[in-house]
Amino acid sequence: MTNRVMPILFVLLPLVLTLNVSPASAQRASTTRVEQDDPSVTYSGNWYSNDSTGHSRGVAALTNAPGARATMSFTGTGITWVGVMDAWAGLATVHLDGAMVVVNTYREVGDYQHAIFTARGLSSGTHTLSIEVTHERGEKTDGSWVWIDAFDIENGSGVPGGTTAAAGRVEENHPALMFTGRWYGNANAAHSEGNAVLAMDSGSRATITFNGTGVSWMGYRDEWSGIARVYVDGELQTTIDNYLSPSQARAILYAIEGLPFGTHALTIEATGTRNASSKGSWIWLDAFDVMR
């Protein structure tokens, strides 16, 4: 394969994140409210609690700490993130099953229990939604606060404890994957099942939690690829230079086996660096193969 797979993918995101259902389907949907302190919602970073009669059940969580995240796994065909939008609210990066969109939560007039982000038309099954705070703000806002009040799930419920991948092929949109930072989707027949994701910002991470004795990372290598760090169970294992000319799709970039059978985590981190021959620092994630 000699043609470059271009990482220009915002066009893919609306198809995944904002599918609309017909009015008849919407009427059939059963909605479950999940509060911000439900066991299916996990937080990292510094979050604060806010009491107000305007919130769902009187309490919400908020933060402006860069890198702070709220994550939930759920079953169902749709989800809505409910929160506060006001003049002090900022930007958040939302990941849903490997697809990413940046959401501006600013609103000139404050609004409680606002539907900040909605995804409908999801396949029936388990999904993972992650909201990451970037400590960035739009043009008009006076702050960068992000609020979590509740989630409304269509035809499903929250999954406490998250999702773990079993043995076999795990695609980039599997709910056992957790993304932080800016990752972009790429649709191309060269990828496993036609899709992959990629990142170039230093510190952007993708983590797969799996149950088995080993795992391999499959990705794309080309003249615009950079250097990544690889962690297993939180410990740095190696750095991988993904540069290659000519390009190669579905390349095995890293593999480890012989782990004690059980639950493990593999993390891929973009460093934003490259070797002297590369024209970019992109890191690609196509799929994983989990070993029993």
Q: What is the pLDDT of residue 15?
A: 29
CA distance 33 to 36: 10
Domain shared by 115 and 176, yes or no: no
pTM for the full predicted model: 0.85
Range of the domain at 240: 164-291
Return the closest-CA partner of residue 186 out of 29, 1, 13.
Answer: 13
Q: Which residues contact 276 (CB under 8 A, 6 or more apart)?
A: none
CA distance 51 to 30: 28
Domain annotation covers residue 7: no
Chosen domain end from 158, 179, 205: 158
CA distance 128 to 150: 15
Residue pair 148/81 in contact (Cβ under 8 Å)? The answer is yes
| Section 263-284 average pLDDT | 98
Q: Where residue 242 sits, what CATH number does that domain have?
A: 2.60.120.260
- DSSP-based three-state secondary structure for 271: strand
Domain shared by 143 and 243, yes or no: no
Q: What is the pLDDT of residue 139?
A: 82
Q: How far is CA 70 from CA 49, 142, 148, 277, in A?
A: 13, 22, 8, 38
Domain annotation covers residue 3: no
Q: What is the pLDDT of residue 141?
A: 86
Domain annotation covers residue 2: no
Return the closest-CA partner of residue 166 out of 210, 126, 125.
Answer: 210
Predicted confidence (pLDDT) at residue 181 exceeds the cutoff of 60: yes
Chosen domain end from 158, 189, 220: 158
CA distance 181 to 100: 9
| CB-count burial class (<10 Å; 0-12, 13-18, 19+) for 129 | buried
To 5 degrees, how large is the angle CA 103–CA 154–CA 11? 40
Which has more pLDDT, 130 or 10? 130
Domain count, the chain: 2
CA distance 250 to 165: 20
In tens, the pLDDT along 1-40 reads: 334 554 433 322 332 344 333 333 444 579 999 999 999 9
CA distance 162 to 209: 9
CA distance 45 to 133: 10
Q: What is the pLDDT of residue 28?
A: 59
Mean pLDDT of the chain: 91
Domain shared by 202 and 216, yes or no: yes
